[in-house]
Amino acid sequence: MESQQRTEIASLGEFGLIDHLTRNNETLNAGTLLSVGDDAAVIDHFGKQTVITTDLLLEGIHFDLAYTPLKHLGYKAVAVNLSDLCAMMATPTQITISIGISNRFSVEALDELYEGIYAACHRYEVDLVGGDTSTSLKGLVISVTAIGEVLTDQFITRSGAKEHDLICVSGDLGGAFLGLQLLEREKRIFEENPGVQPELSQHVYPIGRLLKPEPRTDIVAFLQEQKIVPSSMIDISDGLSSELLHICKKSGVGCVVYDDKIPIHPESKAAADELNLSAITCALSGGEDYELLFTIGQADYEKVITNPAITVIGYITPAEQRALLQTKAGPTHPLTAQGWNAFQ
Amino acid sequence: MESQQRTEIASLGEFGLIDHLTRNNETLNAGTLLSVGDDAAVIDHFGKQTVITTDLLLEGIHFDLAYTPLKHLGYKAVAVNLSDLCAMMATPTQITISIGISNRFSVEALDELYEGIYAACHRYEVDLVGGDTSTSLKGLVISVTAIGEVLTDQFITRSGAKEHDLICVSGDLGGAFLGLQLLEREKRIFEENPGVQPELSQHVYPIGRLLKPEPRTDIVAFLQEQKIVPSSMIDISDGLSSELLHICKKSGVGCVVYDDKIPIHPESKAAADELNLSAITCALSGGEDYELLFTIGQADYEKVITNPAITVIGYITPAEQRALLQTKAGPTHPLTAQGWNAFQ
């Protein structure tokens, strides 16, 4: 995972390391008044409201460096936070990033991590404006805070879904979870037979979904252009069921979702078949797809279906009808949040 | 450290735990439009500029739970971030907090941690608006991001110190470092003789400085009331020398500091004597005092000395004169940043 040269972090010291990692850091946003290098960063949103979210990524819990390239990890750490801003219909503008690293990491390894961080910053035009760099006794710790902006009171919460609203989802689901299962399987095979090279070439799509998620800024832009104002929105980090239940609980509504409407990529379906898993179950309960789940009024139906990246998967019902999955075969099932409960 | 009852975190689950920890969370700031419970928080600074800072605290690196009560740790995690905002002359308004915890912590232990977090929030009138809660394989991880506001372009950086400016410091220095040495000594004694009770009653002050630092919002308020605009400001987290060198480097200046002007508390002096340490060295190179270090024009001298919590310790010189410590005994020494280099 590391390049040939190995520079010890201790040879730079904390301030030298920060200077090294931020030496090419340029700011892209006019609102970034003061960036890395002082006690704090200063941001002007010029009268817009500030949106802020934070995520903690811990080695061994959220990622396994055995199959996660550091560059992808850096990219993903930024992407998943920007996804939360998208779920508010906010435009990402800045991030701060703190890392805790043990001395098993070299400066070159950190450079790879930051290459991914900066790649995501450039791709989504956000500025890295601060952070904290520390040693850790064990394991890599990454904490990202993302800042964005919305026009006054134009943010979308989880709590506005109303009866008869249509439930929409972007992209396709289940891929990231299946990518994880494939990588875990290859890791087990490799551990048992170190000579066997992993064979993943026919599973590029689901593995890419896990390793390099993209925040759906394109969907936010589409909704804004089309003047579609969702009644509620959330991003799918824990699986469709769990996120739908959040919207139902916060909005005080129920829902019906059709299993045959849930978008699943052909390569995800193929991976599910190979692993003897139900692709629908993976879409409902697998996490980390980072797609957007939102509800719209029926009047916006014609507009929303012009975007092939958006699928209508069901509708909102009164609270007493609970959250239901309508199967093509006939029976309905209550939706339950399997999610990825990190504490069990 | 924990109370009698032990509730396993797994019994609540991630969302149950977040609900539990934020059940009494009230917002105090009109600008806090949306708090915990959605994809992100929304803040309105009503035309003011946003100031943002973040810090990562790792068990075994930044704190030792053998002698750090969880309530104090929670308080300190907030306080040190607010101190960074003070160093920009910003008013703290919100924080986000992410924690990674292993299953050796109970819900009751987390309640203690959050009691300290909320105590700091109330004391400084900031709102807890978001965060992330995760399991960790080993060790407690705390990541705090603090948000504040300043009137347009009224923030103070490290880079504005000018020749002839006076160097000021709030409070007194070296106490936190000496408190740490005392606790480390008692820990060693206890490990060797578990029957011996620690005897720390005559060292309450330096230990308090380590365990419960306070951000100097009072100094910021005083400077604003007196219309004193510092030319540069930084908070003292790594020791006076290190912070002075930051100001000198960023401002392109040198400085002279008088060793007999550096404020040291009598109890810190007594602790230094008992430990056979130089109190001046502890003030120069010990960290974690979280006092403010700032420079002012000479015209503000009469105003600044009306505050007994502020001491003038030296003055700014041209860059070629470097950063010097003028000893009462006669010789001068170059200031060097021993600091607390976390990577060595």
Residue B239, in any domain of the structure: yes
Residue A30, in any domain of the structure: yes
8 Å CB contact of B145 and A145: yes
Measured in angstroms, the CA of A217 and the nearest CA of chain B are apart by: 15
The residue from A91, A118, A150 where one domain ends is A150
Least CB-CB distance to A344: which of B10, B136, B235? B10
Touching A: B residues 195-224, CB under 8 Å: none
Measured in angstroms, the CA of A336 and the nearest CA of chain B are apart by: 14
pLDDT at A341 over 50: no
Question: Between helices A70-86 and A217-225, what is the axis angle to 10°?
Answer: 30
Same-domain status, B184 and B328: yes
Q: Kindly state the DSSP code that residue B11 receives in the 8-state scheme.
A: G
Amino acid at B289: D
Give the tens place of pLDDT for each residue, B287-336. Answer: 999 999 999 999 999 999 999 999 999 999 999 999 999 999 989 999 98
Is some CB atom of chain B closer than 8 A to the CB atom of A249?
A: no
Regarding beta strands B49-58 and B141-150, do their DSSP bridges make them parallel or antiparallel, or are they unpaired? antiparallel
Buried b or exposed e, range A203-234, using 16+ CB within 10 angstroms: bebbbbbbbbbbbbbebbebbeeeebbbbbbb
Least CB-CB distance to A42: which of B43, B88, B234? B88
Q: Kindly state the DSSP code that residue B302 receives in the 8-state scheme.
A: H
Same-domain status, A144 and A195: no
Token representation of residue A206: 């689901």
Residue B17, in any domain of the structure: yes
Same-domain status, B96 and B174: no
Is some CB atom of chain B closer than 8 A to the CB atom of A30?
A: no
A213-224: average pLDDT:
98
Instruction: Give residue B340's pLDDT.
Output: 44
Buried b or exposed e, range B7-40, using 16+ CB within 10 angstroms: eebbebbbbebbebbbeebebebebbbbbbbbbb
Instruction: Give residue A135's pLDDT.
Output: 87
Same-domain status, B93 and B211: no
Q: How many interchain CB pairs under 8 A, A with B?
A: 230
Measured in angstroms, the CA of B143 and the nearest CA of chain A are apart by: 7
SS3 B215: coil
Q: Kindly state the DSSP code that residue B321 receives in the 8-state scheme.
A: G
Least CB-CB distance to B58: which of A9, A59, A141? A141
Touching B: A residues 253-282, CB under 8 Å: none
Greatest CA separation for chain A: 66
Query: How far is the C-alpha of A229 from the C-alpha of B269, rounded, in Å?
Result: 64
B12-19: average pLDDT:
83
What residue has token string 């948000």?
B147
Residue A323, in any domain of the structure: yes
Q: Kindly state the DSSP code that residue A299 receives in the 8-state scheme.
A: G
Give the tens place of pLDDT for each residue, A149-172. Answer: 999 999 999 999 999 999 999 999
pLDDT at B24 over 50: yes
pLDDT at A197 over 80: no
Instruction: Give residue B19's pLDDT.
Output: 87
Task: Determine the straight-line distance between the first and last CA of chain B, rounded to whole angstroms.
Answer: 31
Measured in angstroms, the CA of A77 and the nearest CA of chain B are apart by: 13
Query: How far is the C-alpha of B308 from the C-alpha of B122, rounded, in Å?
Result: 26
Closest CA in chain B for residue A58 = B136
Closest CA in chain A for residue B103 = A343
Closest CA in chain B for residue A85 = B40
Q: Which residues pair with A312 in a beta bridge?
A: A168
Residue A157, in any domain of the structure: no
Closest by Cα among A25, A48, A28 to A37? A25
Residue B4's pLDDT band, with cuts at 50, 70 and 90, is low
B131: burial class by Cβ within 10 Å (0-12, 13-18, 19+)? buried
Q: If you count them, how many residues does chain B have?
A: 344
The residue from A92, A119, A150 where one domain ends is A150
Q: Where are the beta strands (DSSP E) in chain B?
A: 32-34, 41-43, 49-58, 91-101, 127-135, 141-150, 166-170, 232-235, 253-258, 292-296, 310-318, 323-326, 332-334
The ipTM value here is: 0.91
Residue A161, in any domain of the structure: no
8 Å CB contact of B50 and A50: yes
Instruction: Give residue B165's pLDDT.
Output: 98
Same-domain status, A219 and A302: yes
Residue B13, in any domain of the structure: yes
Instruction: Give residue A340's pLDDT.
Output: 44
pLDDT exceeding 90 applies to what percent of chain A?
Answer: 78
Same-domain status, A146 and A53: yes
B318-323 contacts at long range (C-beta below 8 A, 24 or more positions apart): B318/B163, B318/B253, B318/B254, B319/B248, B319/B252, B319/B253, B319/B254, B320/B254, B321/B254, B321/B256, B322/B248, B322/B254, B323/B241, B323/B244, B323/B245, B323/B248, B323/B254, B323/B255, B323/B257
Please check whether residue B98 is in contact with residue B63, taking contact to mean a CB–CB distance below 8 angstroms: no
Please check whether residue B36 is in contact with residue B22, taking contact to mean a CB–CB distance below 8 angstroms: yes
Residue B2, in any domain of the structure: no
8 Å CB contact of B58 and A13: no
Same-domain status, B184 and B102: no
Same-domain status, A28 and A77: yes
8 Å CB contact of A137 and B90: no
Same-domain status, B204 and B327: yes
Same-domain status, A107 and A182: no
A108-134: average pLDDT:
94
pLDDT at A117 over 60: yes
Residue A4's pLDDT band, with cuts at 50, 70 and 90, is low
The residue from B116, B150, B184 where one domain ends is B150
8 Å CB contact of A157 and B49: no
Total count of domains within chain A: 2
Kindly report the CATH number assigned to the domain that includes residue B41: 3.30.1330.10
Least CB-CB distance to B88: which of A40, A47, A88? A40
Same-domain status, B36 and B112: yes
What residue has token string 């469709």?
A240
pLDDT exceeding 90 applies to what percent of chain B?
Answer: 78
B107-120: average pLDDT:
95
DSSP B223-288: HHHTT---SEEEE-SS-HHHHHHHHHHHHTEEEEEEGGGS---HHHHHHHHHTT--HHHHHHH---
Residue span of the structural domain in which B51 resides: 9-150
Token representation of residue A96: 């701060």
Q: What is the mean pLDDT of chain B?
A: 92
Please check whether residue B8 is in contact with residue A55, taking contact to mean a CB–CB distance below 8 angstroms: no
Least CB-CB distance to B52: which of A96, A134, A343? A96
What residue has token string 């290859």?
A186
SS3 A8: strand
8 Å CB contact of A145 and B148: no
Closest by Cα among B120, B138, B130 to B58? B138
Token representation of residue A156: 């979308």
Touching A: B residues 120-159, CB under 8 Å: 129-132, 134-139, 141, 143, 145-148, 150, 152-153, 155, 157-159
Least CB-CB distance to A50: which of B13, B45, B343? B45
A301-309: average pLDDT:
98
Same-domain status, B185 and B98: no
Kindly report the CATH number assigned to the domain that includes residue A179: 3.90.650.10
